[in-house]
Amino acid sequence: MSQKIRVLVVDDSALMRKLIPQTLLHDPSIEVVGTAMDGLIGLRKIEELKPNVVTLDLEMPRMDGIEMLRQITRKHRVPVIVVSAHTNEGASLTLKALGLGAFDFVTKPSDAASGRLTQIASELALKIKVAAASGAPKMIITVPAAKPKTRRPFSAQPHVPSRIVAIGVSTGGPAALQYLFSQLPEDFPGALVVVQHMPEGFTEMFAQRLHESTPIEVKEAQSGDLLLAGRALICPGNRHIKVRRMEHGDVVMLVDQPRVNGHRPSVDVLFHSVAKELGSRAVAVQMTGMGDDGAAGLGAIRAAGGFTIAQSPDTCVVDSMPRSAIDRGFVCRVESLAELAALLQSKCSPERPAAEPVGAVNYSSPAESTSRRRTP
């Protein structure tokens, strides 16, 4: 029998310190080796118990979860899964924690106080297993300081994009997207549409943080939003997003169809609509994430003449989303996170080079990639 995954639960709520271990008891591959009521005790128990994964509440007395996470990132390199309150304050702290290196998060259900965590039991167990398998973060992403945005000169004409860039991303996505967007210029000629696996109530705040910290315009998408050059639209949590060609320009539409690949929003829903509506005008990027959502849609975009990119597995927090597309032969180019922005700029430039031939994947080796990229 393989060794169990050792988990430390850190939460100031006595109820949560009881319920989370009870929830994880149902998975024979996981063992909760200890609990702690605040960050100070939690750090001591990491030293004593050597857990493989830590689940972490963020709002605690004495040392809160954010400071504990900073200490873990510096000293212990243990993957951390945030167990977040589904509130505005909880969402804000969770996004901050993800930027500091937390592996992923789950949100406490609304009835958690009544003793029920069944809604997140399988999600939490799965993320613990993936975190344990992934180990310490492969890289800490450092985002350059944001420069003040300049107002674009008024124009009666909309900023028609040269190409549409569709992006699918999951675990590790918040930090990876922030880095990518920080490298794009304010006058980026393409329009971006993003599906980030994230629950309802988090995406608006996430879009706002990206808007404030990167050169381009970023907003949570609404039905009818135009796809404009230099603008990124983030799909709201618990909705699907599609693109549609209209007489006055390309727009996005939000729909409430059933989950696809277990997700809403689903990357495949976006990618299939992009393949159908835009064809060769599309560029699609499959970034860091768990599972295979988006792989089939990426294949559809490539078959329709679009250009498909996968983030290189060695720069992903979890590489199964891009790897699933690479393994199926759906990717034109595999590129490191550090070089993605330059590639998108070249592909969206009106005077971009001729398209690369459809054939074997252009995949720089890790050694070649490292020699020519800035490490984020």
- Concatenated DSSP letters of 156-195: SS----SSEEEEEE-TTHHHHHHHHHHTS-TT-SSEEEEE
Catalytic residue (choose from 84, 170, 182, 266)? 170
In this model, does residue 156 exceed pLDDT 60? no
Domain boundaries, the chain: 5-134, 164-370
CB-based burial, 266-289: b 16+ in 10 Å, e otherwise: bbbbbbbbbbebbeebbbbbbbbb
The per-residue pLDDT for range 239-248, each reduced to its tens digit, is 999 999 998 8
Query: Cis ω on the peptide bond leading into residue 199 (within 30° of 0)?
Result: no
| Percent of the chain with pLDDT strictly greater than 70 | 85
The per-residue pLDDT for range 48-70, each reduced to its tens digit, is 999 999 999 999 989 999 999 99
- The whole-model pTM stands at 0.87
Catalytic residue (choose from 197, 240, 263, 272)? 197
Q: At the topology level of CATH, where does 164-370 sit?
A: Rossmann fold (3.40.50)
Give the closest residue to 80 by CA, choosing from 132, 121, 34: 132
Is 211 marked active-site?
no
In this model, does residue 311 exceed pLDDT 60? yes
Is 170 marked active-site?
yes
Is 197 marked active-site?
yes
Coil, helix or strand at residue 4: coil
Token digits for 35? 């609990």
Q: Do domains 5-134 and 164-370 have the same CATH topology?
A: yes
**Average pLDDT estimate for 114-132:** 85
| Amino acid, res. 56 | L
Give the closest residue to 250 by CA, choosing from 165, 351, 129, 366: 165
Catalytic residue (choose from 57, 268, 293, 319)? 293
Helices (H) and strands (E) in the chain, counts: 12, 15
Q: At the topology level of CATH, where does 5-134 sit?
A: Rossmann fold (3.40.50)
Element (H, E) at 255: strand 249-255
In this model, does residue 356 exceed pLDDT 90? no
State how far the Cα of 82 lies from the Cα of 58, in Å rounded to an integer: 7
8 A C-beta contact, residue 309 and residue 299: no
Given phi > 0 = left and psi -120 to 50 = alpha, else beta, which region is 224?
left
State how far the Cα of 302 lies from the Cα of 276, in Å rounded to an integer: 11
Coil, helix or strand at residue 12: coil
Token digits for 184? 């794009």
- Band (pLDDT 50/70/90 cuts) for residue 355 is very low
State how far the Cα of 369 lies from the Cα of 335, in Å rounded to an integer: 8
Token digits for 26? 């149902």
pLDDT value at position 373? Answer: 39
